[in-house]
Amino acid sequence: MANPNDVKVTNDGATILKSIAIDNAAAKILVNCSTSQDSEVGDGTTSVCVLSGELLREAEKLVNQRIHPQTIISGYRMAAECALNTLRESAIDNSANPEQYRSDLMNIARTVLSSKILCHYKDHFAAMAVDAVLRLQGSQNLEHIHIIKKTGASLGDSFLDEGYILAKSVGIGQPTRLENPKILVANTAMDADKIKIYGTTVKVSSSSRLADIEREEKQKMREKCQKIVDTQCDCFINRLLIYNFPEQFFADHGVMAIEHAEFTGIEGLALVLGADIVSQFDDTSNVRFGTCRLIEEIMIGEDKMIHFSGVPVGAASTIVLRGANQQILDEAERSLHDALCVLAQAVNRRGVILGGGCSEVLMARHVDELAQRTPGKKQLAIEGFARALRQIPTILADNAGYDSAELVAQLRAAHSRDDRRAGLNMTVGQVGNMYELGILEPLHVKEQVVSAASEAAEMILRIDDIITCAPRAAEE
């Protein structure tokens, strides 16, 4: 780890690569490739690095045979185009059948979660993820899905709530339940309104003068609170702390005040409530106030939280994750985020393909056929691309503890008999029908893996020399 005090327990490729200190320039390109894969589609972060590495391994063999890198790159581009066309032709689209479409989404979510910490609860979390994404109604804005992590209970006790839950509590003596409230969201200082100029010193001649300054500060805060109350809002949500005096002022006027809603929390809350974030209250005529059907204080575990139900943005939902410790919760959040990203891509760009090494062997078969039709040295590069693709099912079988050579040979034989749905069933260690087993992936994720891996390998192949600054000479 780059930071020895930061402990992470994960098998997410992008998280591991981002967390370690790397000096090698080529390795940094692969790290950036994995990071962009994570931000673009959410899954396939390990696959893109593995495929890039295999392409570079094949390219190294060709370079040692005196084949120019430009020839290799040209062959790789032809092979990548052929592989992507094969993927698109093999894609299955059941969006016209709502029941089958939801079943496909569930299978995609289960496939993503099968290699994660949530694998033992994959049906439970797959249903949560699909319900949350379908509420977005085609939008890819995952900010509408709020994730809260609370230690205690087990992962199986996690749940999806159709609303927005804020991990804060209501001020003392203030209402804990509001129906159809008028909500003001703010980012303003609600402590004593002191002079915030650092490096200044205020000197007074007596304690009475100090009391005058404190009285003036309190009066300024009272005026500020009065302006907020004059907006006739029922609920005031502030990003910063609310000190005792303004908290009591709001309680006296029957206003629910919620303090210290962190910036990411208040951004998401303003988004789902349809409110503007304001910092001054002299003129609020053009300010959009938020609203919802009900605000109430609830208990999750031993903590009080605030539940906003019936929010204007119907796509909003909250997933509450439970777990034994913070490391498990962090990894569960990363796993669930991958599933949400993949499902959002699957909903936005229709079409699913088969997993379990099926798509890779199918692509490799068509790339091999392209190589046989291609004259010249490019043929060798195209064949190398096909061998790199076949390494994915080989590694899958190795990781599962099976005989990879035997299984991949059986898989290639099945595809040569035109069994286009054959893949590796890692539960029993044999070749099976991937569609019947429900091992599905979104088309866009696999397209991104092939494209990104091919481009990363090309970029590294183009490098002639690495120029680095000479280390500073040690002082005598």
Q: Which two tokens stand for residue 264?
A: 């990411």
Q: Which two tokens stand for residue 307?
A: 């539940």
CA distance 383 to 369: 9
CA distance 307 to 295: 6
- Give one DSSP letter per residue of 200-235, joined into a string: -----SSHHHHHHHHHHHHHHHHHHHHHHHHTT-SE
Length of the chain measured in residues: 476
CB distance 389 to 85 below 8 Å: no
CB distance 94 to 347 below 8 Å: no
Q: Which two tokens stand for residue 285?
A: 């005529």
CB distance 389 to 365 below 8 Å: no
The DSSP code for 324 is S
CA distance 56 to 65: 14
CA distance 225 to 250: 8
**Looking at the annotation, which residues are catalytic?**
12, 45-46, 338
CB distance 168 to 237 below 8 Å: no
CB distance 113 to 335 below 8 Å: yes
According to DSSP, the residues that pair with 309 across neighbouring strands are 294
Give the contacts of 313 (CB within 8 A, at least 6 positions apart): 144, 271, 272, 273, 274
Among candidate residues 31, 67, 66, 61, the one with its CA nearest the CA of residue 49: 31
E strand or H helix at 16: helix 13-19
CB distance 186 to 269 below 8 Å: no
Environment class of 280 (CB within 10 Å of its CB; exposed 0-12, middle 13-18, buried 19+): exposed
